[in-house]
Amino acid sequence: MGGLLSRRWERGRERAGDPGGLRLEVPPGLPVTLGYDAVGVPARHGLRMLSRLPRTGCVYSDTDWWWWIVPAGSDTELTWPLPSYYSPGAYVPAAPRLIHWPDDASPYTPPIPLYLMICQITGTAPAWASYGLRSAQGA
């Protein structure tokens, strides 16, 4: 799938009961006790991110996208900036191959450093949800 993910695939992915695409499979022997999702970025950013993240879990790539395995729900109260793509259940439009095996027994890339790296690369300010927070004036 050339370029950015097609709008058609995105809409199809979000339909209830129809995840679309192929599910990334975590290699046997790596525990996924937290469940897992995937965060994709265009391939042009992949190598730079892989070399700069302090800890990296399983990473997959195809011609156009690199995908990082993160714990399920890593999109809670976060807005992942475009052109990144957050994929609940780690469903992707193509069949990527595993290109990075984690240094330890965890398949996960910590989502907050990954999120901050994507924000930096895209020139986007992090968007943290502020539910329940008060300012100093409102306290």
Are the C-beta atoms of 123 and 55 separated by less than 8 Å? no
Torsions phi, psi of 50, nearest 5?
Answer: -60, -40
Average pLDDT over residues 70-95: 93
Residue 135's pLDDT band (cuts 50, 70, 90): very low
pLDDT in tens, 83-133: 999 999 999 988 899 999 998 999 999 999 999 999 999 999 998 765 555
Are the C-beta atoms of 104 and 58 separated by less than 8 Å? no
Alpha helices in 53-139 (DSSP H): 111-122
Helix (H), strand (E) at residue 71 = strand 65-71
Whole-number pLDDT of residue 77: 87
d(CA 102, CA 109): 9
| pTM confidence score | 0.81
Whole-number pLDDT of residue 15: 40
Query: Strands 36-42 and 97-100: what pairing?
Result: unpaired
Strand, coil or helix: 7: helix
